[in-house]
Each structure stands twice: as structure tokens, then as C-alpha cells.
Amino acid sequence: HSGLSLGTLQKLHSGTHLCPSTIQTLHSSQRDLQKPNNRLLPSPSELLSNSSLLLGYPVMIKASAGGGGKGMRIAWDDEETRDGFRFSSQEAASSFGDDRLLIEKFIDNPRHIEIQVLGDKHGNAVWLNERECSIQRRNQKVVEEAPSIFLDSKTRRAMGEQAVALAKAVKYSSAGTVEFLVDSKKNFYFLEMNTRLQVEHPVTECITGLDLVQEMIRVAKGYPLRHKQADIPINGWAVECRVYAEDPYKSFGLPSIGRLSQYQEPIHLPGVRVDSGIQPGSDISIYYDPMISKLITYGSDRTEALKRMEDALDNYIIRGVTHNIALLREVIINSRFIEGDINTKFLSDVYPDGFKGHKLTENERKQLLAIASSLFVAFQLRAQRFQEHETSRVPIIKPQMANWELSVKLHDEVHTVIASNSGPTFSVEVDGSKLNVTSTWNLASPLLSVNVDGIQRTIQCLSREAGGNMSIQFLGTVYQVHVLTKLAAELNKFMLEKVAEDTSSVLRSPMPGVVVAVSVKPGDMVAEGQEICVIEAMKMQNSMTAGKTGKVKSVHCKAGDTVGEGDLLVELE
């Protein structure tokens, strides 16, 4: 990568490990293959097959000009290699204007740890410690931290020295990152070098105190580095979460588009930094990466940094688009993550059936029911008040209700709740337990700090309908709660429910995007799992497959069409 030959890398240090392959360069451009001096070259698919045989499966196919997980596929057999070549080359051309690919040996269950380097034009270079970037989905980082809980000082120094040796070998000047894969025995393997500033650079700035952008500008101007290796510290701990406009319940994050109707960053909290380029009213479109911001928290140790991240995620207000805050919050409170037992397959290992949101404990469930009931009564009480200059213009007879009998539905379970209030405190009886819920009850605020029996929670009431439906963000996850009075709940039994659509016979777009290709036409027979069409969303190509075996009844899209989430693509008989 980055113009470095295998021979150059091997000369750097005899102890350096390389991903076996660095690397077959695959020219997928047919123009190159048609040049007279290239007529004897094998086809791209032949190159891939030969390389795979040489390396052994699994292999990683990736864009040579790539980054951010774009144009990257893992292949475990010949068929996946062919599909990976097709999708990766198309994504590479779309994202980077360069469809050339690399193929390398894929190391199973590694940690992704990278070293930040800084070099000048006078032959000086230093390494600025490491960043742990193992929490990924689709080969794209989601949570990063510095330093790594896994590395010891010996391994850190060895990796840093190798990174600096690499930078000096190519006379690199500016900030850059040397990425490694690290196995369970702390053997590290060179992956690639990113000759630029990276998304996760703020965590390095937090623990070293260096402003990397300022240092880059100084180096570009020709100044020598101001710091020696001995001057680079590790002070405290920093964690970064990538906040995306994505639906985390679909493949850990399929893109979401829309306009940010409300947006407020949690920068009022201590130790919180937010790097973003959007504001209320900004549009998230299908044409760019779906990242909303980089949320960084800093603390004296890892425990404090993670607690501050938890609070920051609870206080982050994002309305108008679906976002991945629920997934981010679950990752940082997961016991495996807290213990440092992570690798690049963390998400698929922890959530083998996909991400389902936060699983409420018995106490948390009661807290949510009590909070929802208190909110319902608070809204009802507010609706009874009509004041102007402390005198009522219209005489209102206040109902004498000491207790509110409510029916609260959560996860298809109906609970009978009795609530009463005394000033700002509600006493709520739910499932045999009595909880006291206290708050300022500022119902116009998008954030609400609630105390439930001494436990402080920050919640967001995202929506409330006259029919009793409430959307409440609690512990990062949005829960649909249905609250009605006892009388309304009895009458609600007579309301007809909308019949759910049979989704096995239709294919709908799971995300907004552009149709790249359609592989079927009316009358075709398709098998379950067969590719129907390909949709590109935010530079990533996604293969849409048939949910069952059948005959194609109608096709509602063609190549080049822009589709929205839920749009009908194909119907089967």
C-alpha cells in the first residue's frame, strides 16, 4: 500500500509481520487489459482465483485507492471472490474514481490497532501511541479509543518503531497512520498506511495534548517537528463513537436519509468534544457518507471516559433521521467491551441474530413503565391548565382524581398501573412495586432528567399521539409505549387493527439509494436467496435477494432509478 513494495517492507525490520500477500494488484479496467502490451495478461477473475489459491481462503478484496470500508469484501470461496470482485470494483470506481483492487490474506478474529505517526521534511518522525479500532461493521470503524487496553509497553514500542521506520523509509512528511492487525498473542501484521488525517484522530489529540492539524500545517510549511519521542505522553483515556444516520437494526446500520428537524450536541457536559459539519435543518442525502458527527469523551481513565460517553449519548438530540445511538450505547456498556475482550467480529459475535436494541432488566422495565405513566399524567394535567396573568379566563372544573388508573402496553404486554402525584413527584404502582418518579416535567424540553427512586435517568420523549402511543428514548433505545386510561383501554378493544402485509412475496428497498442493476424480468423463475437487484447507497453496493422461490409477477424499478426506504422493487406470484 501507499507505494511501498514488499521488498521495502521486509527490509525495515526482520521482526515485522506482514499480511501474507502484500499484494496482488488487480486491474479491473478492461481498457488496461486491451492494450497491446497487456494482451497476455490474465483476466481480473483469473488473477483473483490464482491469488486466492496462493494465499488460501479467506481473503480480503479491497480498493487500492480506498478507505472507510468502501470497496472492501471478504471472500471465503471462489463464488464469493467473483461477487466480491464485481461489487468492490464498482464501489471503488464510484467512491474513488479508481477501480483497481488489492487482494490479501484475511486474518480471522484480529484486533485492529493503528499507530499515529508524524514526520517532517527534515528526516524526523515520531509515533504518537496507538488507537484501538476493533469495533467495526462492514469493515468500517464504529468505536475507537486511545490507548488500547490490550497493548503492553513492549508491544506498543515495537509497533511504534516499525511505523516510524516505515515513514522514514518513504520520507513521509505530515501526519499519517500505520494500521496493523494484532492477533491474540500480540503478533502484529502490517495492513496499510493512510497518508492523511483519520476520522479517529481526536482520541490521539486527547491523550497526547498535540493538535495534529496544527502540526500538519507546520510540517507543510517546512518547520521541523517540535517534539521528540520522549516528549509524547499518554495522559488519561479517550473514546470516540461515530454517530451515523443509519438504522442499526438493519445489518448493524443501513443508511437513513432525511432533514435534521432538531439537533443539539451534548457539549455542555464535561470532557465531551463533538466534531461535526451539520446543524439543524441540514439534509442527509444518499450521495455522501452517512456520518453525522464524531462524539469524543475524555477522562482520567477508561472507566471515566466510558461513563462520560454513556451520558453524552443520552444527551444527544437528533431528530429527523434514524441514527445509531442505540447501538453505540449498547457497545460501550457491554461486559465484553468493558473487559477489553474485543476483535473485529465483535458485533456479529455479540449479536449473532442482529442488533435488537437494549434488553430491559426487570427493574429497568418497571422504571420505563413508571416514567411513561408519569409523562402521560403530566401531559393530561398540563392540558387542564389555562392561565393568563395567574387568573383563568375560562372557568374550568378540575377533575378530582386522586389516582389515575392506566393501561400501559410495552412489547405486547399490558400492565395495569396506578399513578398519583404530589407536586413534581409521581407515585406509581406497577406490577406490585411502588416507584417514586421526580422531575421538573418541562414537557417542552427535548431532554428530560428523571429521578426514579434515587436513580437519575436522561430520557427523550420523541413523540406522543392522541391515541396513546408514545416513543420514549430510554437507555439509548427507542421504545414504543401505549398508555391509555382504564376506560379508553376497554373501548380500544373494539378498534380494528391494520392487517400486516405479506412480505414474503414482495421485495422492498431496505434503504434509500440508486438502483445499479436489475437481474430479473416478469415471468422469470427465481430461487430463494437469488440476486434480484443491486442498490447503491452512500457509495456502498448492496445485493437484494429473493425471500422465497417463485415467479416474478412485476418489476417496479430499473437501473438508474432513485428509490426510498420501503419502496416496492419486485413482486412475486
Q: Is 192 a catalytic residue?
A: yes
CB 450 within 8 A of CB 378: no
Identical topology for domains 109-235 and 506-572: no
Report the chain's mean pLDDT, rounded to a whole number: 87
Q: What is the pLDDT of residue 394?
A: 57
Give the pLDDT band (50/70/90) at residue 42. Answer: low
Compute CA distances 447 → 97, 124, 145, 466, whole Å: 44, 49, 27, 21
Q: What is the pLDDT of residue 69?
A: 72
Instruction: Choose the most confident range, by mean pLDDT, from 84-93, 97-106, 108-117, 212-221.
Output: 212-221
Q: What tens digit of pLDDT does each residue of 315-368 get?
A: 999 999 999 999 999 999 999 999 999 999 999 999 999 999 999 999 999 999
Q: Where are the domains of the chain?
A: 44-105, 109-235, 236-357, 362-383+401-492, 506-572
Number of alpha helices (DSSP H) and beta strands (DSSP E) in the chain:
13, 35
Fold of 236-357: D-amino Acid Aminotransferase; Chain A, domain 1 (3.30.470)
Is the pLDDT confidence value at 312 over 90? Answer: yes
Please state the separation of Cα 349 from the chain's center in Å: 16
Mean pLDDT of 215-244: 97
HEC-encoded secondary structure of 416-427: EEEEEEECCEEE
Give the pLDDT band (50/70/90) at residue 2. Answer: very low
Q: What tens digit of pLDDT does each residue of 537-548 get?
A: 877 888 999 888
User: Whole-prediction pTM value?
Assistant: 0.78
**194 vs 286 pLDDT, higher one:** 194
Give the pLDDT band (50/70/90) at residue 78. Answer: confident
Q: Which stretch of 178-182, 495-499, 541-545, 563-567 has the lowest confidence by average pLDDT?
A: 495-499
Q: What is the pLDDT of residue 148?
A: 98
Q: How many CB atoms lie within 10 A of CB 122?
A: 12
Fold of 506-572: OB fold (Dihydrolipoamide Acetyltransferase, E2P) (2.40.50)
Is the pLDDT confidence value at 37 over 70? Answer: no
CB 63 within 8 A of CB 100: yes
Give the pLDDT band (50/70/90) at residue 444. Answer: very high
Q: Give the class (CATH, top level) of 362-383+401-492.
A: alpha beta
CB 341 within 8 A of CB 332: no
CATH label, 109-235, candidates 3.10.20.340, 3.40.250.10, 3.30.230.10, 3.30.470.20: 3.30.470.20
Give the pLDDT band (50/70/90) at residue 554. Answer: very high
Q: How many CB atoms lie within 10 A of CB 490?
A: 11
- Please state whether beta strands 506-508 and 513-518 pair in parallel, antiparallel, or not at all (unpaired): unpaired
Closest of 319, 321, 358 to residue 565, by C-alpha: 321
H-helix or E-strand spanning residue 105: strand 101-105
Q: What is the pLDDT of residue 423?
A: 87
Q: Which stretch of 128-142, 371-385, 397-411, 521-535 has the lowest confidence by average pLDDT?
A: 397-411
Give the pLDDT band (50/70/90) at residue 225. Answer: very high
Q: Which stretch of 83-97, 411-425, 477-491, 515-529 has the lowest confidence by average pLDDT?
A: 83-97
Q: Which stretch of 20-34, 61-75, 214-228, 362-376 has the lowest confidence by average pLDDT?
A: 20-34
Q: Which stretch of 187-191, 329-333, 556-560 has the lowest confidence by average pLDDT?
A: 187-191
Query: What residues contact 512, with CB distance under 8 A and at least 6 apart?
Result: 255, 256, 257, 286, 537, 562, 563, 564, 565
Q: What tens digit of pLDDT does each residue of 240-250 get?
A: 999 999 999 99
Burial of 319 (0-12, 13-18, 19+ CB in 10 A): middle
Give the pLDDT band (50/70/90) at residue 7. Answer: very low
DSSP label at residue 182:
E
Mean pLDDT of 141-148: 97
Domain 44-105 has CATH 3.30.1490.20: yes
Query: What residues contact 50, with CB distance under 8 A and at least 6 apart?
Result: 42
Is the pLDDT confidence value at 31 over 50? Answer: no
Is the pLDDT confidence value at 8 over 70? Answer: no
Q: What tens digit of pLDDT does each residue of 257-310 get?
A: 899 999 999 999 999 999 999 999 999 988 888 899 999 999 999 999 999 999
Closest of 234, 245, 173 to residue 204, by C-alpha: 234
Is the pLDDT confidence value at 43 over 80? Answer: no
Mean pLDDT of 409-417: 95
Is the pLDDT confidence value at 38 over 70? Answer: no
CB 163 within 8 A of CB 117: yes
Q: What tens digit of pLDDT does each residue of 472-505 get?
A: 999 999 999 999 999 999 998 888 877 877 777 8
Q: Indicate which residue of 114, 130, 144, 192 is catalytic.
A: 192
Q: What is the pLDDT of residue 94?
A: 84
CB 458 within 8 A of CB 449: yes
Q: What is the pLDDT of residue 45?
A: 57
3-state secondary structure of 480: strand
Mean pLDDT of 406-419: 95
Mean pLDDT of 87-108: 85
Is the pLDDT confidence value at 14 over 60? Answer: no
Query: What residues contact 491, with CB distance under 8 A and at least 6 apart?
Result: none
Is the pLDDT confidence value at 5 over 60? Answer: no
Q: Which stretch of 1-15, 109-123, 259-273, 348-362 has the lowest confidence by average pLDDT?
A: 1-15
